[in-house]
Amino acid sequence: MYSKKFQKSLAAVEAAREANIALEPRRMTAQEKTDLLAAYHPDYKQDEFETLVIGPNKGDKVPKELAATLQAHSRITPESVDLSTPDYDVDVLVIGAGGAGTSAAIEAHEAGANVMIVTKLRMGDANTMMAEGGIQAADKPNDSPAIHFVDAFGGGHFAAKRELLQRLVCEAPEAIQWLSELGVEFDKTEDGTMVTTHGGGTSRKRMHAAKDYSGAEIMRTLRDEVLNRNIPVVDFTSAIELILDENGNAAGAVLMNMETKELLVAKAKTVIIATGGAGRMHYQGFPTSNHYGATADGLVLGYRAGANFFTQKLFSTILPEPLIPSRSSARWLPKRYVLSAQSL
């Protein structure tokens, strides 16, 4: 039974339906859009930003909530962790089991590495699972990575790092092919041709979807592949601090079991941070559709280990972001230390 309040709301929607169907909204002018963003978008409210006073980005401005986390004390003290007897010893430690982390783990495994994944919740308990619209790649005859670049660069208010965007648009078709060969059921016509549609800001139809559950379909396939390869997954466990070797390179991570709070040590030759975004930080009280794991952990882990990240650009514009690293991107991962796609 619906509550009275809900019934009133239903009646209001019913009463306005015909008029709303007939309504052709007026396009906003550029100035109206700018004013709207300035009034409501969290990235544009400069008084909600704080200047970092410590760390690699000292002097840069970030949202207040992020500044508090980046500059907080560690949860652990050096004496509370025994690094001499690691609980895990692997070639590649992947932190985070969304699309980026599982893709990286599969590729590392394919290359012969001894890989493990650690993830705060369960494998696939991630934003990737919730993506609906689809994933863009210029793989049709009337399209090209160059046109994709122009669309995405404009969509990102011309603030994207060009070499990263170039990599994204050039490798996107291969990523679609890789996912498709793994078993992702992208929408296709009867003759097997990929269906592509328009996405936000696209001048060509290049959105590849699986109905309205694209991310779930991608995650289903990646999770199956991880399981089929017997890649170990340590779930309900968070990476809470990176371990550095004597040269300052990442050499593992301190992990915390989320249920027992037990601390574990993972030693690794390579650490891949794929912890996703920061929606659940609720900057300025903003609501979010993000999953509960999206709390900027990768930014904090990396920052505390000495990595700097974009600040002004990241927080003053909305950057286009890759959904999944492409097959070939795993090959150019820096040897030791990689920040996730979102933190780039």
Tell me how far, at minimum, the Cβ of 325 lies from ligand FAD, in Å.
9
For 284, other C-beta atoms within 10 Å of its C-beta total: 14
Residue 104's alpha-carbon distances to 220, 221, 270, 297, in angstroms, are: 15, 14, 12, 18
Q: Does 341 bind ligand FAD (CB under 6 A)?
A: yes
Rounded distance between C-alpha atoms, residue 344 and residue 339, angstroms: 7
Write the CB contacts of 7 (distance below 8 Å, at least 6 apart in sequence). Answer: none
Q: Does 272 bind ligand FAD (CB under 6 A)?
A: no
Q: Does 290 bind ligand FAD (CB under 6 A)?
A: yes
Q: Report the Cα 231 to chain-centroid distance in Å.
A: 21
Contact map string, positions 206 to 245, toward ligand FAD, x by CB under 6 A: --------xx----------------------xx------
Residue 135's alpha-carbon distances to 74, 125, 320, 321, 330, in angstroms, are: 37, 19, 12, 10, 18
Tell me how far, at minimum, the Cβ of 214 lies from ligand FAD, in Å.
6
Nearer to ligand FAD, 17 or 211 (CB): 211
Nearer to ligand FAD, 231 or 239 (CB): 239
Q: Report the Cα 39 to chain-centroid distance in Å.
A: 26
- Please report, as residue ranges, which positions from 77 to 136 form the binding site for ligand FAD (by CB under 6 A): 95-101, 118-121, 125-128, 130-135
Nearer to ligand FAD, 52 or 274 (CB): 274
Tell me how far, at minimum, the Cβ of 176 lies from ligand FAD, in Å.
12
Q: Does 48 bind ligand FAD (CB under 6 A)?
A: no
Tell me how far, at minimum, the Cβ of 3 lies from ligand FAD, in Å.
26
What residue has token string 């903003």?
A: 286
Tell me how far, at minimum, the Cβ of 30 lies from ligand FAD, in Å.
25
Residue 194 burial class via C-beta count within 10 angstroms: exposed 0-12, middle 13-18, buried 19 and up: middle
Give the distance between the most distant pair of CA atoms in the chain. 70
Tell me how far, at minimum, the Cβ of 46 lies from ligand FAD, in Å.
25
Nearer to ligand FAD, 61 or 153 (CB): 153
Helix, strand, or coil (residue 55): coil
In the chain, count H helices and then E strands. Answer: 10, 12
Query: Do the Cβ atoms of 255 and 240 come closer than 8 Å?
Result: yes
Nearer to ligand FAD, 127 or 329 (CB): 127
Strand locations in the chain (E):
49-51, 61-63, 88-95, 115-118, 135-136, 196-197, 207-208, 233-234, 237-244, 250-257, 263-273, 337-338
Q: Does 152 bind ligand FAD (CB under 6 A)?
A: no
Say how many residues touch ligand FAD, by CB under 6 A. 38
Tell me how far, at minimum, the Cβ of 132 lies from ligand FAD, in Å.
5
Nearer to ligand FAD, 67 or 175 (CB): 175
Q: Does 202 bind ligand FAD (CB under 6 A)?
A: no
Tell me how far, at minimum, the Cβ of 109 lies from ligand FAD, in Å.
17
Nearer to ligand FAD, 62 or 218 (CB): 218
Q: Which of 81, 119, 76 is nearest to 100 (CA)?
A: 119
Rounded distance between C-alpha atoms, residue 291 and residue 286, angstroms: 14
Nearer to ligand FAD, 57 or 342 (CB): 342
Rounded distance between C-alpha atoms, residue 94 and residue 115, angstroms: 7
Q: Does 329 bind ligand FAD (CB under 6 A)?
A: no
Residues that bind ligand FAD (CB under 6 A): 95-101, 118-121, 125-128, 130-135, 214-215, 238-239, 274-276, 289-290, 293-294, 297, 321, 323, 340-342
